[in-house]
Amino acid sequence: MTNAAISATADPSLDAGEPAGEAHSLTSDAWRLLRRRPIFWVSAGLILLFLLMAIAPGLFTNTSPTAAVLKESRATPSTENWFGRDVQGYDIYARTIYGARASIMVGVLATLFTTLLGALLGIVAGFAGGWVDTLISRITDVFFAIPLLLGGILFMSTFQSDVNTSYFVIVMKVVLVLALLGWPSITRLMRSSVLQVKPNDYVQAARALGASPWRIIRQHILPNAMAPVIVVSTINLGVYIAVEATLSYLGIGLTPPAISWGVAISAAQSGLRSAPHMLLFPAMFLSLAVLAFIMLGDAVRDAFDPKTR
Amino acid sequence: MADAILTATDLVKHYPIKGGVLRRTVGHVKAVDGVSFQLMRGETLGIVGESGCGKSTLGRLLMRLEEPTSGTLDFDGIDMYSKKGSEMRKLRRDIQIVFQDPYTSLNPRMTVGDIIGEPFDIHPDVVPKAGRRKAVQDLLDMVGLNPEHINRYPHQFSGGQRQRIGIARGIALNPKVLICDEPVSALDVSVQAQVVNLMEKLQDELGLSYVFIAHDLSVVRHISDRVGVMYLGRMAELGNEDEVYQHPTHPYTQALLSAVPVPDPTLRGKREQIVLTGDVPSPANPPSGCRFHTRCWKAQEKCKVDTPELIERPDGVGAHFSACHFAEPRLVIETVDVSDVEPDERFSSTEVVDPGALLERDGAATTAADDVVSDGTQQGEPVGEPDASREDVFREEVRGDAPDRRDI
């Protein structure tokens, strides 16, 4: 085929396939890749289910999670109570459904705060450079040195809750400690990501055009540096849920009468051998939720990674 | 000759080298060390030199993407380095840049329309908001791209097409000077010719002045009116195209030119090649006196002490700027200027083929991979074996030989 013929037929065929106006951005490419992955649909479905549980537990059960039937304490699963009853005679199925709210709330809010704080500091450090970068990076190092769990235990035992502390305040306390100790990893990631994007010629071209720093960050740096942060945040969400359960299990996170998976697991410890179902169900839900978020993060990372294309 | 639009005087850019625990400055990389030149209105000044000689740093200094260590830059009567804030922003309208790598110079998350329209967003008074889409489409048309592709993303284009987008962004604000930082080095040889021709066309239409930075001597000769040769942060030789290429007086220029491959097997082994010994010295610790004396076969004691100035020195025919104590002309290579030669129509067109007309003739199914080829849209009768001869033809064009003389 001749050169002219090749070039001539190439254009119309492209135009016929996609009318002018349609285009593939990197995001839409990632979405098309994501759509074909079953692991994405499974994790997204699970997450939606858990979110629904957190928002409207009444959709899943009519039983009150605080209705104790003491004489049926430690009842094994039956047609009446699918998951059985715990020491107090509460319906485990209802407790597990209602427990989702605390975990999801802690996970989502902690992720939101760490991402906002971490990304903001990371952008400032990476873009400004110089002594601003040094200052932020050293502060990040200081906070990074504190182990998440140890710091959490310290914080929660210093600012202890009592019976009168409201549910919301306790949740916010856990969120606060996670946000306080979780932002450094996001800051580091964002900073390195910004440093990678900044020397690109398109950023230089914008500078040459006279664009303001704010415009350069908003238009050029942020959209190109955000992908790894989104991925890590999604994975972190699962980790935060697990940490909340750990703190509750240790008795310093959420405490009864608050309902959460961690609290349920902690309570199930006493009758582990005689009534293992008390541990099984909340633990299973916890694992599923953590797994779902980590799997989602994995799938999103694969989709955004240009090397896989 | 026309008046100067850009006058650089003693431009210096030193990058500090930090060392030790306290990050003290222990030395300087002398990337650009005292470069002076003038760019005339409507002319093309080629800057050549090997990697690391400070060409690109010079380009960034001219754009004020880097602040100079010292020196002044006069742009059309305005001292560019004294301007700040909104004044500088206003000045940027008149001096724009085209980058080397078309794969990193376009934001992958913006559509072509947004990329080319960004200059109008930053300088909103140039084109009213309602007319911007039209202005962008006109620009696309001007650089030989389909205006309907305004909503596509950069990764849907080939390298040559991307470079055209970069050029369209550069000329959007109708600048007076365009700095071209190796605009064709990253491109396929077949596409280089198209982009160079496009740039010449735009120069004629818009009256642009170019500073054309490159390391490809043939490309620079093809496009430039005057040529400056750089070595280790300094200008070694500066003159118009004929002066530098036909009677170079600086030994470095002579060595560079003797290294240009000549696509003519009958000349094999018959021409003299000057092979330089040693490596380029480090710009952190450049040689004293003449920078080139460590590798120069003419070097004498004087060269190690006295820095030769860039002044007019006789070149056999007239005189042009050269920075060598022992400047003397030397015919290095037989090169032919092709500026007046009728261009080869098959390879010089920058027009976009009207797809409809050819679809009727040949409606064969094609794949998206052909898009790359469509960048080189050429009208008229194609010759057989385009893949095999493309590269040769460009070289021939630069050298000015007719294709039929190729057969030996």
Residues B196 and B236 placed together within one structural domain of the fold: no
CATH code, domain with B144: 3.40.50.300
Q: What is the pLDDT of residue B56?
A: 87
Domain count along chain B: 3
In angstroms, rounded to a whole number, what is the distance separating the alpha carbons of residues A76 and B363? Answer: 73
Question: Percent of chain B having pLDDT more than 90?
Answer: 17
Q: Is B389 on the interface with A (CB under 8 A)?
A: no
Q: What is the pLDDT of residue A31?
A: 83
Residues B187 and B273 placed together within one structural domain of the fold: no
Q: What is the pLDDT of residue B44?
A: 92
B378 pLDDT above the threshold of 90: no
Residue B279 in tokens: 């490596």
Give A215's contacts in chain B (Cβ within 8 Å). 122
Rounded to an integer, the average pLDDT of A67-77 is: 75
Give A23's contacts in chain B (Cβ within 8 Å). 111, 151-153, 156
Neighbours of A147 (CB within 10 A): 11
Residues B58 and B191 placed together within one structural domain of the fold: yes
Residue with the larger pLDDT of the pair B47 and B284? B47
Alpha carbon of B103: minimum distance to chain A alpha carbons (Å)? 9
Beta strands in B162-277 (DSSP E): 177-181, 209-213, 226-231, 234-240
Rounded to an integer, the average pLDDT of B150-165 is: 88
The pTM assigned to this predicted structure is 0.75
Would residue B352 count as lying in a domain?
Answer: yes
pLDDT in tens, A280-290: 888 899 899 98
Residues B237 and B266 placed together within one structural domain of the fold: yes
pLDDT in tens, B185-213: 888 888 888 888 899 999 998 889 999 99
Would residue B329 count as lying in a domain?
Answer: no
**Interchain proximity B370–A208, CB inside 8 Å:** no
| Per-residue pLDDT band at B374 (split at 50, 70, 90) | very low
Residues B105 and B220 placed together within one structural domain of the fold: yes
Which of B86, B121, B152 to mutate against chain A (most A CBs within 10 Å)?
Answer: B152
**Neighbour order of strands in the sheet with B24-40:** B24-40, B4-19, B70-75, B78-79
pLDDT in tens, B318-355: 888 998 888 888 776 555 555 566 666 655 555 655 55
**Interchain proximity B122–A200, CB inside 8 Å:** no
| Domain end among B190, B224, B258 | B224
Would residue B278 count as lying in a domain?
Answer: yes
B395 pLDDT above the threshold of 50: no
Residues B168 and B304 placed together within one structural domain of the fold: no
Of the candidates A241, A238, A124, the one whose C-alpha atom is nearest the C-alpha of residue A187 is A124
| Domain end among B224, B252, B271 | B224
Q: Are B57 and B66 in contact (CB under 8 A)?
A: yes
Q: What is the pLDDT of residue A192?
A: 93
Cβ under 8 Å to A: B residues 246-285? none
Q: Is A164 on the interface with B (CB under 8 A)?
A: no
- Half-sphere exposure of residue B64, counting CA atoms within 13 Å on the CB side? 23
- Which residues contact residue B56 at a Cβ distance below 8 angstroms, ignoring those fewer than 6 apart? B100, B181, B182, B213
| Per-residue pLDDT band at A11 (split at 50, 70, 90) | very low
Would residue B339 count as lying in a domain?
Answer: no
Of the candidates A20, A215, A224, the beta carbon closest to that of B109 is on: A224
Q: Is B111 on the interface with A (CB under 8 A)?
A: yes
B3 pLDDT above the threshold of 70: yes
Rounded to an integer, the average pLDDT of B48-62 is: 88
Q: Is A271 on the interface with B (CB under 8 A)?
A: no
In angstroms, rounded to a whole number, what is the distance separating the alpha carbons of residues B406 and A135? Answer: 65
Q: Are B115 and B107 in contact (CB under 8 A)?
A: yes
| Per-residue pLDDT band at B296 (split at 50, 70, 90) | confident
Question: Percent of chain A having pLDDT more than 70?
Answer: 90
Alpha carbon of A7: minimum distance to chain B alpha carbons (Å)? 4
In angstroms, rounded to a whole number, what is the distance separating the alpha carbons of residues A72 and A86? Answer: 8
**Which domains does chain A possess?**
27-71+79-308 (1.10.3720.10)
| Domain end among B206, B224, B242 | B224
Cβ under 8 Å to B: A residues 8-37? 8-15, 20-27
Residues B44 and B61 placed together within one structural domain of the fold: yes
Rounded (10°) CA dihedral B348, B352, B353, B354 = -150
Q: What is the pLDDT of residue B337?
A: 54
Give B88's contacts in chain A (Cβ within 8 Å). 210
Would residue B328 count as lying in a domain?
Answer: no
Q: What is the pLDDT of residue A14?
A: 38
Q: What is the pLDDT of residue A23?
A: 56
Q: Is A207 on the interface with B (CB under 8 A)?
A: yes
| Per-residue pLDDT band at B177 (split at 50, 70, 90) | very high
B149 pLDDT above the threshold of 60: yes
Q: Where in the sequence is the domain holding B38, given as residue range(s)?
A: 4-224
Residue with the larger pLDDT of the pair B407 and A43? A43
Of the candidates A3, A12, A22, the beta carbon closest to that of B378 is on: A3
Q: Are B354 and B205 in contact (CB under 8 A)?
A: no
| Per-residue pLDDT band at A307 (split at 50, 70, 90) | low
B302 pLDDT above the threshold of 90: no
B235 pLDDT above the threshold of 60: yes
B361 pLDDT above the threshold of 80: no
3-state secondary structure at position A300:
helix
Residues B235 and B366 placed together within one structural domain of the fold: no
| Per-residue pLDDT band at A46 (split at 50, 70, 90) | very high
pLDDT in tens, B12-45: 999 888 877 777 888 888 888 889 999 998 899 9
**Interchain proximity A201–B101, CB inside 8 Å:** yes
Q: Are B121 and B128 in contact (CB under 8 A)?
A: no
Q: What is the pLDDT of residue A305?
A: 66
Helix count (H) and strand count (E) of chain B?
14, 12
Phi, psi at B98, each rounded to 5°:
-120, 130
Alpha carbon of A197: minimum distance to chain B alpha carbons (Å)? 10
Of the candidates A6, A202, A210, the beta carbon closest to that of B89 is on: A210
Chain A and chain B share a number of CB contacts under 8 A equal to 148
pLDDT in tens, A94-114: 888 888 888 888 889 999 999
pLDDT in tens, A180-197: 999 999 999 999 999 999
Alpha carbon of A216: minimum distance to chain B alpha carbons (Å)? 11
User: What is chain B's mean pLDDT, rounded?
Assistant: 79
**Interchain proximity A224–B358, CB inside 8 Å:** no
Would residue B355 count as lying in a domain?
Answer: yes
Cα end-to-end span (Å), chain A: 30
Q: What is the pLDDT of residue B349?
A: 58
**Interchain proximity A8–B105, CB inside 8 Å:** no
Would residue B337 count as lying in a domain?
Answer: no
Rounded (10°) CA dihedral B184, B188, B191, B196 = 20
Residues B261 and B206 placed together within one structural domain of the fold: no
In chain A, the residue whose alpha carbon lies closest to the alpha carbon of B172 is: A209
Alpha carbon of B284: minimum distance to chain A alpha carbons (Å)? 22
Of the candidates B21, B222, B210, B8, the one whose C-alpha atom is nearest the C-alpha of residue B98 is B210
> Angle of helix A227-249 relative to helix A148-158, nearest 10 degrees?
50
Q: What is the pLDDT of residue B405?
A: 40
Residues B220 and B234 placed together within one structural domain of the fold: no
pLDDT in tens, A236-261: 888 888 888 888 888 787 777 778 88
Least confident of A10-14, A215-219, A251-255: A10-14
Residues B163 and B259 placed together within one structural domain of the fold: no
Residues B153 and B297 placed together within one structural domain of the fold: no
Would residue B333 count as lying in a domain?
Answer: no
In chain B, the residue whose alpha carbon lies closest to the alpha carbon of A7 is: B374
